[in-house]
Chain A
Amino acid sequence: MPGDGIPSGGDTWGISGSTFLLSYGLIIVVVGVLVPLAQMAMRRGSGDPAALAARIERHPGDVAFLTGGPNGAVLSAIGALRTAGVVRASSLGRVQVVGPVPRGAGRLDHAVHSAAARGMTRGQMARDPRVVAELEASADRLLAGGLVSSPGNRAGQRLLGLAMVAVFGFGVIRLVAGSANNRPVGFLVLLVVPTVFLSIALIAAVPRRTGLGRRVLQQLRGRWAVLRPSAGPAWATYGPAGAALSVALFGTGAIMAMDPNMAIGLHLVNTGGGGWSGNGWSNSSSCSSSSSSSCGGGGSSCGGGGGGGCGG
């Protein structure tokens, strides 16, 4: 029964242990729900997703940067160059350059091609100054379009996460007071510990994309369903731009589908599942099974995890 503790100096602050636990738990839940909601509202963004999608799809590198950051953008350029036949599978995180950049290639493609020709690994390419310059231009365009949050906006979202830190602090104060009062604090510890992780999550997990950016990506994945790797698109038919867009929208599975050896050589295959490997971005659109039951050409599995797809 509440309040039936071992009498010893009375309840801390005059509030019984069970009452405090209940209230504290409620506070955690409320803050844990309200803060993310407030963060989402802060990054919502406004604009016409369909119109923006139609504009951004002409710059697959920007789309790739939106979904997968610098690594994503580099990979989409590699996909384009592979489809153009000017790079080939290699090993140790590299690709081999076998031809000049094709006509009509974008600036990012040029930069990645040059970096590859100098023997850089995928990771090194993302740090190459020429590539970085193109990525910064991408970031600027995405910011101007309202598809990513400004640094100030993200800082504001993180500040909201401090509310959970306050909850943590409040719990610690109660813990200290309770111990000093020789009251049992075991259950309270069980509640305070999660607030540490919640605080970290709410402060750290602030995405760069705005709500508008997410809606634009939804539009794009719908418009370009034909490029879904699991549907087995004919890469030569859709060309380098199509390949870049497929990598941008559907992740490493596209590289796996267009050239499994290159995916292995680029160290894309060790991590399982769809989306980006190695840099923590999760691609929210995972592989759904294609409605077509005929086997498209080439490996049709989405994401790493070995072969799969249709045999032969």
Chain B
Amino acid sequence: MMPIEDRGVGIGWRPEIRGVVEELPGLRFTEVVAESLPPAGPVPDGLSELLARGVTVIPHGVRLSLGGADPVEPGRVARLAAGAELLGAPLVSEHIAFVRGGGLEAGHLLPIPRTADSLDALVDNVNATQAELPVPLALEPIAALFDWPDNDIDEADFITEALDRTGALLLLDIANVYANARNRDQDPLAFLDRLPLERVAYVHVAGGSEGDGLYHDTHTDPTPPAVFDLVRELCARHRPPALMLERDGHYPPAADLRAELDALADATGYPKVTATEPAR
């Protein structure tokens, strides 16, 4: 039994576009950056209205550094837990990544080496985190433009084993799957087939752009057709309970965002959220 079921398609709540997000008549779930929530409340304007409407809001952490060599900071875990309680969220999510090390903040998400040691560290951190969370945790693997030279575990194996040893769920970022496969000239479907798709709590869908011969998962571009194709393939195998358009900047006109959401609905077979009457 997944923490959320049949929520359809949604879009990440961002203050810059919140007017558009909050006006979506069929919206049933969204996600907010956990660190932007005041730990003791109140729920930010707009989110409170969504909650009152029965929309599920999931706090998405970015600063826990679960993949880091250092033990996860209890204060940060407590803050994530507080966010879940503030929003009445049925689950929280974070990343398989590190953001700090040696006393320095990286400022963004960095891939961890896929070694036995780093897997142990990740598992320890995730277990320590889950012990303090009131709700299940979903882990999101990130896109990496390069691989660490000492990687000796295959990515799909690494993720699967991390989930097995912790019991955590998977936040599958289908755009990252596309980006990683594309930048390494590998088959994204082969990768998908090796993941425990029944453990997917929800999915991120995002856009990116070409640059220097690489595909950058920017979250500030429209979702390319190839990623929608991958969404279709994923749904054919095991349709996830919820899929979310993740846009973090360079926001386009509202009509474009709504069209992208409709395209996502079409690719998944879920109802469109931009209309009051669900269109099938």
Residues of A bordering B, CB below 8 Å = 225-227, 231-234, 236-239, 242, 290-294, 296-297
Contact = CB atoms under 8 A, between A and B. Distances in A.
B252 interface: yes
A274 B234 CA distance: 51
7 contacts: A225-B45, A226-B18, A237-B16, A237-B20, A291-B44, A294-B35, A297-B16
B253 A293 contact: no
A233 B44 contact: no
Contacts of B46: 226
Nearest to A290: B15
Interface string B247-267: 001011110010000000000
Contact of A294 (B15, B17, B42): B15
Interface residues of B, number: 21
Q: Which 3 pairs show the lowest CB-CB distances between chains A and B?
A: A234-B251, A226-B19, A234-B16
B197 interface: no
Nearest to A235: B251
B253 A239 contact: yes
A239 B254 contact: yes
Interface of B: 15-20, 22, 33, 35-36, 38, 42, 44-46, 249, 251-254, 257
Contacts of B36: 292-294
B156 to A, nearest CB: 33
Contacts of A225: 45
Contact of A237 (B33, B38, B42, B252): B252
A232 B252 contact: no
Given A292-B15, A294-B33, A237 B45 contact: no
Contacts of A236: 251-253
A290 B15 CA distance: 10
Contacts of A292: 15, 36, 44-45
A293 B33 CA distance: 11
Contacts of B253: 236-237, 239
B19 A291 contact: no
A237 B18 CA distance: 10
A232 B251 CA distance: 12
Contacts of A297: 16, 249, 251
B16 A291 contact: no
Nearest to B43: A291
**Considering residues A227, A237, A239, which has the most beta carbons from chain B within 10 angstroms of its beta carbon?**
A237
**Considering residues A225, A238, A242, which has the most beta carbons from chain B within 10 angstroms of its beta carbon?**
A238
A237 B257 contact: yes
Contacts of A233: 15-17, 19
Given A226-B46, A237-B254, A293-B36, A232 B19 contact: no
A291 B42 contact: yes
A57 B33 CA distance: 31
A6 to B, nearest CB: 67
Nearest to A233: B16
B17 A231 contact: no
B15 A296 contact: yes
A274 to B, nearest CB: 19
